[in-house]
Amino acid sequence: MLNNLSKQPEDKILGLAKLYRADDRPNKIDLGVGVYKDANGLTPVMRAIKTAEKQLWDVETTKSYTSLTGDAGFHKVMADLVLGDSVDPARLSFAATPGGTGAIHQIFELTKLSGNPKVWYSDPTWPNHLSIIKHLGVPAQAYRYFDNATGAISFDKMMADLETASTGDVVLLHGCCHNPTGANLNHAQWAEVTDLILRKDLVPFIDIAYQGFGDGLDEDAFGVRHLASRVPEMVIGASCSKNFGIYRERTGLVISLSPSAKEQPLAQENLSYVNRQNFSFPPDHGARLVTMVLSDPELRADWMAELEAVRAGMLRTREMLADALRRESGSDRFGFIAEHRGMFSRLGATPEQVLRLRDEYAIYMIGDSRMNIAGITEASIPTLAKAFIAVGV
């Protein structure tokens, strides 16, 4: 059997990380892998998480399973964080998952159980969306989203493409901090998208992996809350990896919104089913820590303060890089970097320019020129600005 397997395409992001590790140049800069790093190049354990872990060690009495869809306390605090008071909780169903990727996978599984409708995704989108879609055999089509020349959203083209969607199709939207571009819908655009979804009878699917990294916890949830307050049904894949800094704990959650409390049990039953078929019981350690942090006023306040410092630091980095590029290029064509939000921006470099940045300047980024803003330090900004202009970006 094993000899009959086919070679699978290498993950471009993981492949880039491998190349970076093998590079022995002391001045190398990693703008590839999407992991938050502080000014020292480390991904720290957040203070509130560390405190919660110590508390959990003292009080935890069992490592037995929770349930097929995870702990109800985790469901509640995450629903409050993501949705606030925008919906009736009786309409919500949940499934805890191994990370946000697991949540995305389980939602695609759910679409297959519901008749396998077409899923519309932004061009570009997070590459793993496309990989899972292909792996599961989900019908899909891109809608135009980003103008590489201006660094802005191609909103008219996006709306024109979604106008061609059919009743029951699923529209995959990034809740905030769009990956890979960093370009987000504004309030008015969210309202227009919501109106189109209602008029066309489409189903919104929100991937929200960076809440708190953009404009703040509540502001970053504006789009998902606006949709939830108006649409009859939707699905949400939420990740705790970034905003709680618990990447290796693999903590994610599917939230589904049914038309009414009457239909909710059927959605919950199917979420339990897809979990059982894939991994049975989800991991609990990260979910338990998130629950503790969000339920304890002191821990929550400390977490929010540290998260705000992370967010503010990335905004400062954006502004400093945009300023350095303005000075180096003598133009404002890189102003979009300061306007984008989250961990990523797409620089607008060609694949050839990206290769030159790697070969000549030891600057590593994905071939589509997505760069991880959290991988930039104040000391590296002058080097980056000079290199970007030198290769012709």
Q: Which residues are catalytic?
A: 126, 207, 209, 242
A 10 A CB-CB count for 215 gives: 16
- For 16-40, the DSSP string reads HHHHHHH---TT-EE--S-----TT
CA distance 349 to 346: 8
DSSP single-letter state for residue 5: P
Question: SS3 for 62?
Answer: coil
- For 258-315, the DSSP string reads -SSTTTHHHHHHHHHHHHHHHTSSPP-HHHHHHHHHHHSHHHHHHHHHHHHHHHHHHH
Burial of 123 (0-12, 13-18, 19+ CB in 10 A): middle
CA distance 346 to 123: 12
Question: Which residues make Cβ contacts (< 8 Å) with residue 50, sequence separation at least 6?
Answer: none
Burial of 390 (0-12, 13-18, 19+ CB in 10 A): middle
| Of 114, 118, 71, 73, residue with least CA distance to 96 | 71
With contact defined as beta carbons under 8 Å apart, do 16 and 33 qualify?
yes
CA distance 322 to 315: 11
User: Which residue bears the tokens 């001045």?
Assistant: 27
Q: What is the 3-state secondary structure (H, E, C) of 324-346?
A: HHHHHHCCCCCCHHHHCCCCEEE
CA distance 52 to 244: 12
CA distance 182 to 343: 7
Task: For residue 247, give the amino acid letter.
Answer: Y
User: Tokens at residue 294, please?
Assistant: 């969000």
Question: Which residues make Cβ contacts (< 8 Å) with residue 354, sequence separation at least 6?
Answer: 365, 366, 367, 368, 369
